[in-house]
Amino acid sequence: MKKFLMIAPLALGMQFAVAGDDMHAEFKQMMDSSFKGNGIAEKHRLYQLDFQAACSTEKSPSPAMLKAIEAEQMKTIRWPSDGKYTGDWKSGEKIAISGRGLTWNDKADAANGGGCYNCHQMSHNEISYGTIGPSLLNYGKLRGNSSDMLKYTWGKIWNAKAYNACSNMPRNGDAEILTERQIKDVMAYLFDPESPVNKP
């Protein structure tokens, strides 16, 4: 089972601003009695991790808390095991435009999609895309493919919370949404000069 890294509030020497203990216990009891795990849709996915709870309060976390969350989340990033950041952009395109996976009737070894189109414009050919995240058109063309840029982009895809504690972007690698191979392919989709991202 996946072990999720949680930040212990006391270890940081600060309290997370979450709802009162009674309300939290009541909510957890309601969730426990109303839902059950089914296949790969395990019940632990219903509960917020400490850093997620900190970002869900009415008052924004302090700058110190944000830095502490980001530092802890940075530790979760696993860099490419073979040192290579990119794979096949054509496979990456399929992953980026697929939103499937992680449902109760999926098999554990089924390939998940990245659902990137839900938040980003990526291809010059797209007719429908989300705008929660920035446009990724010409991503590699504009940014180049320096080692620093490749590393930053990999880290952002693996766990965006390492760069922006309260980011809406999923922790694609850390939460095991995408595999290392899939992330390499999405990276190629963003950087390859022949990819529709960089070539109208």
Kindly calculate the radius of gyration of the chain based on its CA atoms and give it in whole angstroms. 18
For residue 80, being part of any structural domain is answered with: no
**pLDDT tier at 9 (50, 70, 90 boundaries)?**
very low
| Unique residue bearing structure tokens 């990999």 | 154
User: What is the SS3 assignment for 172?
Assistant: coil
Name the residue range of residue 30's domain. 21-72
**45 is a domain residue:** yes
Q: How confident is the model at residue 6 (pLDDT cuts 50, 70, 90)?
A: very low
Q: What is the CATH number of the domain that holds 162?
A: 1.10.760.10
In a domain, 13, yes or no: no
Total number of domains constituting the chain: 2
Domain presence at residue 79? no
Task: Please write the tens of the pLDDT for every residue from 153-185.
Answer: 999 999 999 999 999 999 999 999 999 999 999
In a domain, 158, yes or no: yes
Q: Are residues 68 and 93 in the same domain?
A: no
Q: Which residues of 54-91 are buried (b: 16+ CB within 10 A; e: fewer)?
A: bbeeeeebeeebbebbbebbeebbeebeeeebbbebeb
Which pLDDT does position 20 carry in this prediction? 59
| Same domain flag for 126 and 165 | yes
Q: Answer whether residue 81 is part of any domain.
A: no
pLDDT grade for 21, boundaries at 50, 70 and 90 = low
Per the domain annotation, does 136 fall within a domain?
Answer: yes
Residue 47 is predicted with a pLDDT of 73
How much is the pLDDT for 52? 83
The percent helix, strand, coil of the chain (3-state, each to 5) is: 40, 0, 60
Per-residue pLDDT of 34-57, as tens digits, reads 888 877 777 777 777 777 888 888
Tell me, what's the pLDDT at 4? 41
Q: How far apart are CA 128 and CA 19, in angstroms?
A: 38
